[in-house]
């Protein structure tokens, strides 16, 4: 079988790809790998388990808890909370591991399992590989080491996690949000209670939409992947701006008072300048990805700041941040990591810090976000080509060089092989949208002829 772990845990259609049996088995394997790593003799391991509101999360949570407890791990069940809340609580409570059941921005039928190591950190590839190896060994007939009697894990609800996480969020804000009216779209997801409570405690007047999860409506026409409802609500309410999360609230996108979208690059630009002003942007550097808009990089350079680019994926952003000690990084999609206060992307924290900057400066979100100009970006997917030759074709290299000469310093070309499909992605940025489309179209034609 193929590798179970993808770029963000194990994900698939609940009860089809992601079954109760798989959830239980992976949890026992994770207990053996994560709970035993570095434990002192006689140590009784603990796990924090949370989920988003998907209906399938109910039976999958039961399977995960059963697996952990059967492996001798005590379980603190925190209920419906965002992924970053589970990560924070895993670290704050000194737990040996954390487990989050969520498929993030995916549609309701999907679900996923994300394991977190001590401290609330995402797993390195080698830890995921070890968990998968232990799981496969058991499937092939190797028995588990099963405790009995007092050795089995105990399970209890940890309702205090809700207040503990909100108190953490509010405590790290540099200033209050009094005087701001903010619309929050919770995607009928994991932050439906947390985010409105945190913003209200910080002093904002809060209007919520998409905050009535029923287990079936998560991400359904709302949240960070569908901003239409939020745009309309902000304008109708006369709010200062709006914030949108995804199903597990590790993302944050925004709209200004007119309903115009503010993406992850713009949010990072605003936060980078705030951290720089406060002397907390270590190395005067922000971490983005190769898909970050060129306008973001140009804006940071104008401010005397550097941008380090990684492969696409918040895990790669986080790796670069941890390796070099950088304070801020993220993606255009709204995954923003503020490493002084979170071990992963935290949509609620990001929204709060963005609001705090608006409150502190007295400037509108539109004015703050105008620090960067989003250059027009055209993306064309070219299917049915030999993506393995994208970096070796002389014809393609020549075409890219010519495109880069034409665009000059105000444009950019990026060719990427898809990680999951037989296609190559052609991305072109330019100051003029028509120029971007023309260059991208020409390059796509060369990709077809050179790699077809």
For the cut 80, the answer to whether the pLDDT of residue 421 exceeds it is: no
Provide the pLDDT for residue 124: 86
Among residues 27, 104, 192, 333, the one annotated as catalytic is 104
For residue 420, the model assigns a pLDDT of 61
pLDDT value at position 400? 92
% residues pLDDT > 90 (the chain): 84
pLDDT, position 393: 82
- Given pLDDT bands bounded at 50, 70 and 90, which one contains residue 125? confident
Which residues define the annotated binding site? 104, 246, 248, 250
Domain residue ranges in the chain: 10-159, 164-369, 377-451
Instruction: Report pLDDT for 360.
Output: 98
Enumerate residues 6+ apart whose C-beta is below 8 A from 368.
270, 357, 358, 361
Query: d(Cα 287, Cα 278) in Å, to the nearest integer?
Result: 18
For all residues of the chain together, what is the average pLDDT? 94
Supply the pLDDT for residue 40: 64
How does pLDDT run across 19-32, given as a tens digit for each residue? Answer: 999 999 999 999 99
**The pairing of beta strand 306-310 with beta strand 285-289:** parallel
Helices (H) and strands (E) in the chain, counts: 14, 19
299-340 pLDDT per residue, tens: 999 999 999 999 888 889 999 999 999 999 999 999 999 999
From first CA to last CA, the distance across the chain in angstroms is 29
Per CATH, 10-159 and 377-451 having the same topology is answered no
Burial label for 392, CB within 10 Å (0-12, 13-18, 19+), is: exposed
pLDDT digit string, tens, across residues 278-298 = 999 999 999 999 889 999 999
pLDDT at 38 over 60: no
- Residues 59-70, mean pLDDT to the nearest whole number: 98
Radius of gyration of the chain (CA): 23
Q: Give the whole-angstrom CA distance, residue 210 versus residue 131.
A: 36
CB environment 281-298: b (16+ within 10 A), e (fewer) = beeebbbbbebbbbbbbb
Mean local confidence (pLDDT), 404-427:
85
> What pLDDT, on the 0 to 100 scale, is given for residue 42?
74
Q: Look at residue 314 in the predicted model and tell me its pLDDT.
A: 85
Residue 104 appears among annotated catalytic residues? yes
Q: Choose the CATH number for 10-159 among 3.40.120.10, 3.40.630.40, 1.10.10.410, 3.20.20.150.
A: 3.40.120.10
Q: Annotated binding site for Mg(2+): which residue ranges?
A: 104, 246, 248, 250
Kindly state the average pLDDT of the residues 150-175. 97
Give CATH superfamily name and number for 164-369: Alpha-D-Glucose-1,6-Bisphosphate, subunit A, domain 3 (3.40.120.10)
Model confidence at 419, pLDDT cuts 50, 70, 90, reads low
pLDDT band at 110 (very low <50, low <70, confident <90, very high): very high
| 39 pLDDT more than 70 | no
Contact residues for 164 (Cβ-Cβ < 8 A; gap 6+): 89, 92
Contact 128, 113 (CB under 8 A): no
**Whole-number Å distance between alpha carbons of 235 and 213:** 24
Report the share of the chain in percent with pLDDT over 70: 98
> Which residues on neighbouring strands pair with residue 205, listed in sequence order?
181
Higher-confidence residue of 416 and 56: namely 56
For residue 1, is pLDDT > 60?
no
Give CA–CA dist 219/207, Å, rounded: 18
Q: What is the mean pLDDT of residues 426-444?
A: 93
**pLDDT score for 3:** 78
Query: Of the CATH numbers 3.90.550.10, 1.10.287.110, 3.30.310.50, 3.40.1010.20, which one belongs to the domain with range 377-451?
Result: 3.30.310.50
HEC profile for the chain?
Answer: CCCCCECCEEEEEECCCECHHHHHHHHHHHHHHHHCCCCCCCCCCEEEEEECCCCHHHHHHHHHHHHHHHCCCEEEEEEECCHHHHHHHHHHCCCCEEEEECCCCCCCCEEEEEEEEHHHEECCHHHHHHHHHHHHHHHCCCCCCCCCHHHCCCEEECCCHHHHHHHHHHHCCCCCCCCCEEEEECCCCCCCCHHHHHHHHCCCEEEEECCCCCCCCCCCCCHHHCCHHHHHHHHHHCCCEEEECCCCCCCCEEEECCCCEECHHHHHHHHHHHHHHCCCCHHHEEEEECCCCHHHHHHHHHCCCEEEEECCCHHHHHHHHHHHCCCEEECCCCCEEECCCCCCCCHHHHHHHHHHHHHHHCCCHHHHHCCCCCCCEEEEEEECCCHHHCCCCHHHHHHHHHHHHHHHHHCEEEEEECCCCCEEEEEEECCCHHHHHHHHHHHHHHHHHHHC
């Amino acid at each position: 079988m193929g590798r179970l772990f993808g770029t963000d845990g194990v994900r698939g259609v609940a009860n089809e790809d992601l079954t109760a049996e798989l959830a239980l088995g992976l949890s026992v394997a994770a207990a053996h790998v994560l709970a035993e790593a570095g434990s002192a003799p006689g140590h009784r391991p603990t796990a924090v388990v949370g989920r988003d509101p998907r209906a399938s999360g109910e039976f999958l949570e039961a399977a995960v808890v059963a697996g952990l407890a059967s492996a001798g791990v005590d379980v603190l069940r925190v209920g419906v909370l965002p992924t970053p809340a589970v990560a924070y609580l895993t670290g704050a409570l000194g737990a040996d591991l954390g487990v989050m059941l969520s498929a993030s921005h995916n549609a309701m039928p999907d679900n996923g399992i994300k394991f977190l190591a001590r401290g609330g950190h995402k797993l390195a590839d080698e830890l995921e590989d070890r968990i998968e190896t232990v799981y496969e060994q058991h499937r092939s007939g190797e028995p588990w080491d099963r405790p009995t009697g007092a050795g089995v894990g105990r399970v209890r609800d940890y309702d205090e996690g809700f207040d503990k996480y909100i108190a953490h969020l509010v405590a790290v804000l540099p200033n209050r949000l009094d005087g701001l009216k903010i619309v929050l779209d919770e995607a009928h997801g994991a932050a439906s209670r947390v985010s409105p409570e945190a913003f209200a405690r910080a002093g904002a007047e809060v209007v919520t939409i998409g905050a009535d999860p029923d287990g079936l409506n998560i991400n359904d026409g709302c949240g960070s992947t569908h901003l239409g409802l939020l745009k309309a609500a902000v304008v109708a309410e006369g709010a200062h701006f709006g914030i949108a999360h995804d199903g597990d609230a590790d993302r944050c996108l925004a709209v200004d008072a007119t309903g115009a979208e503010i993406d992850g690059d713009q949010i990072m630009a605003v936060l980078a300048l705030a951290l720089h002003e406060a002397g907390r942007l270590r190395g005067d550097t922000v971490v983005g990805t190769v898909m970050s808009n060129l306008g973001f990089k140009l804006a940071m350079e104008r401010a005397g700041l550097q941008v380090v680019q990684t492969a696409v994926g918040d895990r790669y952003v986080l790796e670069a941040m941890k390796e070099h000690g950088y304070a801020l990084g993220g993606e255009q999609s709204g995954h923003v990591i503020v490493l002084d206060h979170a071990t992963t992307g935290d949509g609620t924290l990001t929204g709060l810090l963005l609001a705090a900057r608006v409150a502190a400066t007295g400037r509108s979100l539109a004015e703050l976000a105008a620090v960067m100009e989003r250059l027009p970006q055209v993306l064309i997917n070219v299917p049915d080509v030999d993506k393995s030759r994208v970096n070796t074709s002389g014809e393609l290299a020549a075409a890219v060089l010519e495109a880069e000469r034409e665009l000059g310093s105000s444009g950019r070309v990026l060719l990427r092989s898809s990680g999951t499909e037989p296609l190559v992605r052609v991305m072109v940025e330019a100051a003029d949208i028509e120029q971007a489309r023309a260059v991208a179209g020409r390059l796509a034609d060369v990709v077809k002829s050179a790699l077809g």
